[in-house]
A and B are shown apart, each in its own frame.
Chain A
Amino acid sequence: MKWQRIALILITLSLLVAPLAWSQGGNAEQKIKKLFDQLQVAELKGDSNALEKLCADDYTSIRGDGSVLTKAQLIEGYKSGSIKYETIENKDVKIRIYGNTAITTDLSSVKNIRDGKPRIGTNRTTRIWVKQGDNWKCILYQTTRVPPAS
Chain B
Amino acid sequence: MKPRFAIAMLLVLALAIPATMLAQQSKAEKEVRAVIDELTQANLKGDAEAAAIFDKYLGDDFVRIPPSGAIYTKADMLDGWRTGKIKVDSLDLSDIKIHMYGNTAVATAISRAKSTVLGETMSGPTRYTRVFVKRGGIWQCVLYQNTIIAPPKTEDSATQTTNQLAGTYRLISVKTTIVATGEITEPLGKAPQGYIMYGRDGRMMILMVAEKRTKPSDLATMTNQERTDLFNTMLAYSGTYEFDGRTVTHHVDVSWNQFMTGTHQKRNVTLDGRKLVLAYTAPDPRTGVVSIGEITWEKVD
Contacts and interface: CB of A to CB of B under 8 A. Distances in A.
A65 B282 CA distance: 21
B282 A149 contact: yes
B102 A101 contact: yes
A57 to B, nearest CB: 12
A148 interface: yes
A62 B283 contact: no
B148 A66 contact: yes
A66 B104 contact: no
A66 B68 contact: no
Interface stretch (B197-205, B206-214, B220-228, B260-268): B260-268
Contact of A147 (B61, B143, B268): B268
Contact of B279 (A105, A140, A147): A147
Interface residues of A, number: 34
A98 B104 contact: yes
Given A58-B99, A147-B68, A103 B108 contact: no
B68 A146 contact: yes
B65 A144 contact: yes
Interface of A: 58, 60, 62-68, 96, 98-101, 103, 105, 107, 122-124, 126, 128, 130, 139-140, 142-150
A66 B150 CA distance: 6
Q: Which 8 A-B pairs have the closest CB atoms?
A: A66-B149, A146-B69, A101-B104, A124-B69, A65-B150, A148-B266, A147-B268, A150-B280
Given A65-B147, A126-B145, 18 more contacts: A60-B108, A62-B129, A65-B149, A66-B147, A66-B148, A66-B149, A68-B127, A98-B142, A101-B131, A122-B69, A126-B129, A130-B101, A139-B99, A140-B129, A144-B148, A145-B69, A149-B281, A150-B266
Contacts of A62: 108, 127, 129, 147
A101 B281 CA distance: 32
B102 A147 contact: no
Interface residues of B, number: 42
Interface string B271-297: 000000001111100000000110000
Contacts of A122: 69
B103 interface: yes
A interface secondary structure, majority: strand
B127 A146 contact: no
Contacts of A149: 266, 280-283
A93 to B, nearest CB: 13
B152 to A, nearest CB: 9
B126 interface: yes
A98 B127 contact: no
B281 to A, nearest CB: 5
